[in-house]
Amino acid sequence: MRANLMPDLDLAARLFAALRARTHDGVGITREAYGPGERIAHEIVLGEAATLGLEIATDHMGNRFLTLPGADRAAPKLVVGSHLDSVARGGNYDGAAGVVAGLAAVAGMVRAGFTPGRDVTVMAIRAEEAGSWFPVSYPGSRGALGRLAPGELEVRRRDSGRTLAEHMAEEGFDPEAARAGRASLTRERVAAFVELHIEQGPVLEAEGIPVGIVTGIPGSRRLRAARVLGRYDHSGATPRRYRHDAAIALAELAHRLDEEWARLDAQGRELVCTFCVLATTAEAGFTKIAGEARFELDVRSIERAHCDALFAALHRMVPEIEARRGVRFALGPETGSQPGLMDASLREGLARAARDLGIAHRLMPSGGGHDAAAFAAAGIPAGMIFVRNQNGSHNPDEDMRMEDFAQAAAVLQRWMAEASA
């Protein structure tokens, strides 16, 4: 029965081409969350779903559910998918690959005349790229799960300055339902969620493996608006003992924290520590000692304790540097998220699908955060498939080979067929 079950790669190629053509910004791909780019991506996906004859539904958040009905419509369904927004000037595959893979898998089922045992739904999720648009984690999936705090609807999009609720309403969705905690997905109605996504990192590429099965999604501790305050003075006329140099205080903190990370890394503790922004301000200039600097710090690990160890080091260093250098750190609010472990039996199911198809794969932690973490946090078994990709992600050079995508989509489809039985 399943010998001829294959993802529809023509459909996948057509979708990727349409997405690229219609959301290209001149440099890369821009699909603003609850904005024109994301709206266009949803339109493209809905068009293919309609052609395939899938059931189409939209929830209060604007998430789309594209369903191939199963034999037992009352059974808890399988949901696969990912997000359709992108960072500004990003690549074509981050997020979209998961939705396209789901549709390609379902289209292959339709073509093969395969009826799953239970409903199989491709979910196109809203607004995952928190770093670029709304400073809140996974509003689309968490809103679908009824787990968005009312205050989170009031966060403002970085570019427009308007709130998530305002943007949702403008696109025709229902922030009031989100405030009231409505859920379009529940533990009772969803048997499992699987997200296919490009790796975003270099591990699969470096190791020559096309597919990753994800063990977990890291939690994070983050400083997104931290500052160092010193005093602007003349760079020539101010002896060392009279300085309040914000730039060098920040350089010291960053370098010493990086050394702390190197120590933890050498002990085999998996975490990452990144000063994404580290900068004197526009006031800085030649012949001036920097009176201010700012930084954005991103610490992530599957093990919350590793994040805590690095932040403990940070909080030891800061007062010591302040006292010695005559500066003040204004760390600002800390944000972050809890780690999300992928479901063990789901992980095994995905690995078995890969083995059955003879596709090389490895287990690996995720580096980035993903909507799958929101499902795991809501108690729904969640899994992820990574596709090897090139040139990282969140940049216009992000790339992915279609043969790798085909293998990953095949793993997804095989798992869907098995798990829906």
Q: What does the binding site for a second copy look like in residue numbers (CB under 8 A)?
A: 87, 131-132, 199-203, 206, 218, 220, 222, 224, 231-240, 242, 245, 247-248, 250-252, 254-256, 258, 261-262, 265, 270, 272, 274-280, 284-290, 293, 296, 298, 300, 366-369, 392-395
Joined together, the tokens standing for residue 303 give 């093990």
Nearer residue to a second copy within complex by CB, 16 or 261? 261
User: What does the DSSP 8-state code read for residue 287?
Assistant: T
- Closest distance of CB 205 from a second copy, Å: 9
Residue with smaller CB distance to a second copy, 204 or 417: 204
Closer by beta carbon to a second copy, 169 or else 251: 251
CB nearer to a second copy: give 76 or 392. 392
Report, in Å, the least distance between residue 125 CB and a second copy: 17
CB of 297 vs a second copy, minimal distance in Å: 10
Rounded Cα–Cα distance for residues 265 and 126 (Å): 35
Burial degree of 358 (CB within 10 A; 0-12, 13-18, 19+):
exposed
In angstroms, give the least distance from the CB of 239 to a second copy. 7
Q: How far is the CB of 415 from a second copy (least distance, A)?
A: 23
What b/e readout covers 32-56, taking b as 16+ CB neighbours within 10 angstroms? bbbbebbbbbbebbbebbeebebee
| Dihedral sign for Cα atoms in the order 310, 385, 209, 204 | negative
CA–CA separation, 179 and 144 (whole Å): 12
Helix (H) or strand (E) holding 374: helix 371-377
The residue among 87 and 178 lying less far from a second copy, judged by its C-beta, is 87
CB 314 within 8 A of CB 253: yes
| Two structure tokens written together for 302 | 């599957």
CB-wise, 26 or 172, nearer to a second copy? 26
Is 46 or 279 the residue whose CB approaches a second copy more closely? Answer: 279
The torsion defined by the Cα of 156, 161, 163 and 167, in degrees rounded to 10, comes to -120
Q: Cβ closer to a second copy: 110 or 279?
A: 279
> For residues 329 and 226, is the Cβ–Cβ distance under 8 A?
yes
271-279 LR contacts (CB < 8 Å, sep 24+): 271/218, 271/299, 271/300, 271/301, 271/303, 271/306, 271/307, 271/310, 272/218, 272/298, 272/299, 272/300, 272/301, 272/367, 273/297, 273/298, 273/299, 273/310, 274/298, 274/299, 278/250, 278/251, 278/254
Question: Which of 376, 349, 351, 382 is closest to 364 using CA atoms?
Answer: 351
